[in-house]
Each structure stands twice: as structure tokens, then as C-alpha cells.
Amino acid sequence: MIRTTRQLADGRDILYFDDDRDAPVRQARDTRDLPAVSTRSELRFDPLLGEWVVVAAHRQTRTFLPPADQCPLCPSRPGRPTEVPESDYQVVVFENRFPSLAIDVARDVAPTVPGNPLAELRPGFGRCEVVCFTSEHDRDFAELPPERARLVVDVWAERTAELSAVEGVQQVFCFENHGEEIGVTLSHPHGQIYAYPFVTPRVAAVLRSVQRHREATGGDLFADVLAAERSGPRVVATNEHWTAFVPAAARWPYELQLFPHRRVADLPALTGEERDAFVEVYLDVLGRFAHRFDTPMPYIASWNQAPAQAREDWWLHLQLFSLRRAPGKLKYLAGSESGMGAFITDTNPEDVAEQLRAVTW
């Protein structure tokens, strides 16, 4: 993999990633006249839930579902410069123009939220990056050739390693939102990476469960769950290094977890063989999601990587889930889910696994 670093007109970094086969020289300049990015995000602590909330009001003006001929993630062409100055690319990463978190965020914030001394206030420190998987506007990740999908995995790993080394970053989150029903605001095939200055609520909750299981049984919760699922009825796809299964207590109508068979903390720790094996299983299950109904399912692909302070307790895995429960019907997070955080699922996990195994295309 060859990485080329350039800067956009407003000073943001843009990184081109090419495989080693006849990689072009990346020298195109960003000719746009852009104002400097100014981020005033805040972190506000919810004392009742014990969780951080990011307040990023400046994102209200971000680009929203432009037509294909005005897509800012497509390569630049004469007379229409975009976020990517080159006329073509393989995989590209750049700092989000409308970030929720930023390294250079304004630091002049009060110690607490006005009127509530229990609600701690911090600058919205961190980093938000956009990852474009291909220059082709109408191609989904499920349609990428294996060698391009593998390049994306290598990019995720490279960015995870670099961002994890930034002082103050506690967790790196690589993810893809796919489909307008999910809330995607740009239809070009892309994902994002967040570098958080705190451990996210999901990871914190899982770590507490890991600790409780160790104290109660002396065992490794991740290993025990994986061993049980690999021999159970909910496996959808597997190979020598990975297993994709519907979790026993799936929250979403269609949900998979992809686990490597070897304990690793994060993406950089995967071997080349394990990365190839992941691509094989991942493209398989994405194809099943795309062909389960008459139209492709919207989905979120969510990498669960180790936080900075708990690497020895973690087991890397990917969540892939969709809120589509039937043709033309979505699962909404209504009263129980949104109000109380108590999920009520519309599908049976064993049935979902059987349905996904039966998908052909």
C-alpha cells in the first residue's frame, strides 16, 4: 500500500491510498477558495447516565443529499473541483469539513455547563475523517472487488494505528452508514472514522460484562460467546479465520457479528491472511444483505475496537445491522427503545440466520 499526503485549500489533510501496482503520482492541487474550518464542538457530561454527549451545532449547515453530478466525494473534473482534487483515486481519506470532533477545536470553554455544576464541559477534541472506498459514485461496498475491499481494510488499520497514537484519543471507531433510511447525507460509497477522547457507552458496557464474567466464572466472555455461537444455529458464513453469526439476543431486525477466531485487540493486529479471510466473509454477508429483499437493505457496519486503556481485555469484532424488518417496512426506535433503551425486536434470530443462509444471487 502506498500513501500520499496532501492538503486541501482550507488546510485539511487528504490522504491517497493506492495498491502497489502502478500507483500514480498524486500531485493535483485543490483550486477552491475555501474558508478555514472552525470547530466549536463541546463535550457535555450527563451526570445521570454517566455518559458524554457531543454538541456540534455547526453541523446543521453540512451538505445534504446533493445530486450525483454535484457529489463532493467524486473526483474533481474540469470546471467542478470537489473534496478530492485528483481526477481518479482508489481509496482516499480526508478530514471531515463539518467535523463533530477536531484536533484544533476551540479550547476556551467553561468547566461546567451554565446552570449545572454537575454537568462537566470539555472542548470537542478528537478527529473525524471521511473514507471514500472508490471513485465510482454508483458502486456499493458489496460490489467492490476483493482486492479493493482488502485495500480498505488496510486503510482502516493504518488510520486506527495513527489516530490511536494521538495523545488524548481513547477509542477509534471505523464505520459505514449505508442507505438514506440510515441517515446518509452523501450517497457516494464512503465510511467514516471517529477518534474519541472518551470510551463510548457501548464499549464501556461490554467491558463491565467482561469483568463480571471473569469474576463469576474465571473465563473470557468473548471467547465463550464465540465458541458457543460457532457451534450453534445462527452461523451465516464462516471460513478458517472468521465467523459471521446472528447474535442470540439480536436487537435489530437483521444483525450479524463478525468475529476473528484469534483474539486481537484491533484492526492493525490482524495478519495479512486474516485480512484476506475477513474480506471473503464480509463481501459474502454484504451480498446477502443486498439480496435478502427486492431492494438492498440499509445498514450500519460498526467496528468494535479496543479502547486505549483496555487492550488486553478486548476482542475485535464487527457489527453489521439493518433497521429493515420486511419489504417496505423499517424498525423505528420508538418509545421503549428511544425512551428506555429497552429493545423489542420484530424478528427471531434463528429465523433471520436461516433466511440469510438461504439467500442466493
So which residues are the catalytic ones? 190
Phi/psi for 347 (5° steps) reads -130, 160
Instruction: Please write down the HEC assignment for all residues of 122-151.
Output: EECECEEEEEECCCCCCCCHHHCCHHHHHH
Neighbours of 354 (CB within 10 A): 14
DSSP bridge pairs for 7: 13
Q: Are 106 and 40 in contact, with CB atoms under 8 Å apart?
A: yes
d(CA 219, CA 215): 8
Cα Rg of the chain, angstroms = 21
Instruction: From residue 15, give the alpha-carbon distance in Å to each of 106, 130, 131.
Output: 24, 10, 9
Locus of grid cell 473470557: 220
Q: What is the DSSP string of 275-314?
A: HHHHHHHHHHHHHHHHHSSSSPPPEEEEEE---TT-GGG-
